[in-house]
Amino acid sequence: MNLIGQRAPEFSTQAVMGDGTINEDFNLHEQLNGDYGILFFYPLDFTFVCPSELIAFNHRLAAFAEKKTQVIAVSIDSQFTHLAWRNTAVENGGVGPLGYPMVADCSHKIINSYGVQAPSEDVALRATFLIDANGIIRHQSINDLPLGRNVDEYLRLVDAWQFHEAHGEVCPAGWQAGEDGMDASPEGVASYLSEHSKSL
């Protein structure tokens, strides 16, 4: 399901918040409230690849916050299972305290509205959505269950989208914050490639 350019599907449900409290009426767009968002789906609590991803996102929360970007996780587990996993030490297979919300989707309504349910299992694929400050999806990616995400790539994508918003230029392959963008015109691409093609 392609959601690029569309408003992120709304949802209200239970979530464990970054301070460890349970919010019985967590709402996506109310939570973002004009911030950017990284909404990521994962299969299940108390599994294998998943804790490495959740911890990696948590380690980069300050970097996301500098970009006015909130991180929100979703799985089909209940808020109580989320809380139990959060209260389990990392050395015992838990994720420990996380500074971002863990959304409960026991009904599977959210994973279905985003089109990310695994075809062979009753869980979410490793899907990630970049939502802009107006609630519009600007990036989506989906990994099969064995493939963990590179969290730094989502920091780069936030930088790239915000650069495009600020300057109107597009971001060529491998673009990093502080590098040249490209004017979206024949002249712009010719100028950019004349200087940068060998380093691509």
The full set of domain ranges for the chain reads: 12-149
**What pLDDT does 120 receive?**
85
pLDDT score recorded for residue 186 = 94
Per-residue pLDDT of 143-164, as tens digits, reads 999 999 999 999 999 999 999 9
Say what the pTM is.
0.96
What pLDDT sits at residue 60?
98
Write the CA distances from 109 to 9, 41, 50, 156, 193, integer angstroms.
10, 13, 21, 30, 45
Per-residue confidence (pLDDT) for residue 19, from 0 to 100: 97
Q: The sheet that has 69-75: what strands, in order across it?
A: 22-27, 12-16, 102-104, 69-75, 36-41, 126-131, 137-143
Catalytic amino acids? 50
Distance CA 159, CA 139 (A): 12
Q: Which residues in the chain land under pLDDT 50?
A: none
- Residue 22 DSSP SS3: strand
Q: Where are the beta strands (DSSP E) in the chain?
A: 12-16, 22-27, 36-41, 69-75, 102-104, 126-131, 137-143
Q: What is the residue whose two structure tokens read 């950019």?
A: 192
CATH 3.40.30.10 fits 12-149, yes or no: yes
